Structure 1
């Protein structure tokens, strides 16, 4: 597994990196004692796009693939030099975020054709742009006034309510079919890259991370509630009149960075190697769920690596290696 290090913080954090590292932030972790206590909302880093640093811009294009809009970025010497296909799934800020696009370009520079689909069908997380009040607080050199703090709290409360409504619109039943359309289309449009990599590589941040597990699993159509053209009828199904069909896995290998809204059941059926980058005592992914997932993968011989960072908030994981040639 000799491959380049690729940043897995929220993409807006990666875009803001400079050569001089920032001083470490003192963080008091939130303790989560059970799965039921985990807040299933999205982290602020994945719903609020940070300002793009001056002088930085993206180099890819947005186009339709399989009837779904996607940001596509390619290695500079592709197709003259073979590349692999990477499906990149974003947090709530979506494909129009310049920071997400810059992150896709970084992966492309490492030898990938990157396809970053619009999982939200033109409806990214509400208030994905940082509000003036929040921006002022981030840039403040002194303690905010009581009025400033009140304004910030009011904005956070309103945003939380809107995000709850937004999440209700973007369920697995809505998102997964979009991803399957894109996967089917890339097999044709970028057949050389899929073939060169021996399949589709996939990377997901925050909201998108959960779908890495779903795309890497073999599940029945009954379990997903979705019938796809790639469903494989099990022996005896037709005679029994059963609707049970197995689907997936659709990817070769997957990586998840600061996942959210993942449940224990999402690991069931997982077949492909995965790498997880998590933080300790994460309110978005409880230790209980993560440990249950590790236990399932161990018992079912699913190749995996899990890195857990203590003392940092959700969305601020450090670095890990995107697998190049998983064994098996």
Structure 2
């Protein structure tokens, strides 16, 4: 199971903190890339070392990666009642903080945009995916995400869950998958054995099972973005090649 104290690491960050849409954001990767990925933190915030290391890993695949501080420096601590903290940081409100970041990236010249959310942050990404504010989404050990949220998703989405997760148990993740299948939404769903909620960025370095599964999930995330952005480009090219001069479709394209 996940260690709730596994929040530090000796590895150094490879990015920097900048102001994006008036929010402090950890930024990593090529600023000239036309593809950006927004990572939305869990309740421990954007300073978490392993989250920043994951941002660097995603950036190494060629993306411009941002981890905005949607919690405004007010991160949860074990001394704080979670219910009281959540009232101040309602997950369903976070999407409104995310939209200016999306707009700032578009104004910067970003033409392809994805987002991944972890635990608390998964709700904001699900909401962005429901409003098609992004092109590719991913939820890792999600919390606060409902079946109705998933039924409303309009873009390709990956959902990575844990075998032992009190917030999104495997049974719920399978319901999410069934909804995506029913709505014909391009998706990737996977449940990782032997790990608990938060393992992807809060794994215990001394637990080989957690380390292995976390690294596997992180690589799956990178691969998901790479494959899906590529497929979307092929789909776009296919669409234009099957539309005649009058704008009428003369063929079929699908993922």
Q: Does TM, normalized by the shorter one, top 0.5? A: yes
Q: Pick the aligned partner of 1:117 from 54, 64, 68.
A: 68
Q: Secondary structure at the match of 2:225?
A: coil
Q: Which has the larger radius of gyration?
A: 1
CA distance in 1, matches of 2:91, 2:134: 17
CA-based RMSD: 2.1
User: TM-score, structure 1 length as denominator?
Assistant: 0.59
The residue that corresponds to 2:127 in the other structure is: 214
- Tell whether 2:172 aligns with 1:289: yes
The residue that corresponds to 2:8 in the other structure is: 51
Q: Pick the aligned partner of 2:82 from 163, 166, 173.
A: 163
Residues 83 and 111, structure 1, Cα contact 8 Å, conserved in 2: no
CA distance in 2, matches of 1:173, 1:164: 14
CA distance in 1, matches of 2:107, 2:29: 16
The residue that corresponds to 1:254 in the other structure is: 137
Unaligned runs of 5+ in 1: 1-26, 28-42, 128-158, 218-247
Residue 291 of structure 1 and its aligned partner are, at CA, apart by 2.5
The residue that corresponds to 1:98 in the other structure is: 49
The residue that corresponds to 1:279 in the other structure is: 162
Q: CA 1:282–1:49 in 2, change beyond 3 Å: closer, same or farther?
A: closer
Runs of 4+ that moved beyond 3 A: none
CA distance in 2, matches of 1:307, 1:87: 21
CA distance in 2, matches of 1:83, 1:109: 14
Q: Pick the aligned partner of 2:21 from 52, 59, 66.
A: 66
CA distance in 1, matches of 2:58, 2:225: 13
Q: CA 1:297–1:104 in 2, change beyond 3 Å: closer, same or farther?
A: same
Q: CA 1:304–1:70 in 2, change beyond 3 Å: closer, same or farther?
A: same
Residue 44 of structure 1 and its aligned partner are, at CA, apart by 6.2
The residue that corresponds to 1:182 in the other structure is: 101
1:214-258 per-position Cα deviation (integer Å, ceiling 9, x unaligned): 1111xxxxxxxxxxxxxxxxxxxxxxxxxxxxxx21111111211
Residue 315 of structure 1 and its aligned partner are, at CA, apart by 2.4
CA distance in 2, matches of 1:256, 1:172: 14
CA distance in 1, matches of 2:182, 2:150: 12
Residue 281 of structure 1 and its aligned partner are, at CA, apart by 4.6
Higher helix share: 2
Unaligned runs of 5+ in 2: 201-212, 232-254
User: TM-score, structure 2 length as denominator?
Assistant: 0.75
Number of equivalenced pairs: 211
Q: Secondary structure at the match of 1:207?
A: helix
CA distance in 2, matches of 1:181, 1:69: 13
RCO higher in structure (CA 8 A, sep ≥6): 1
- Tell whether 2:114 aligns with 1:201: yes
Residue 91 of structure 1 and its aligned partner are, at CA, apart by 1.2
The residue that corresponds to 1:310 in the other structure is: 193
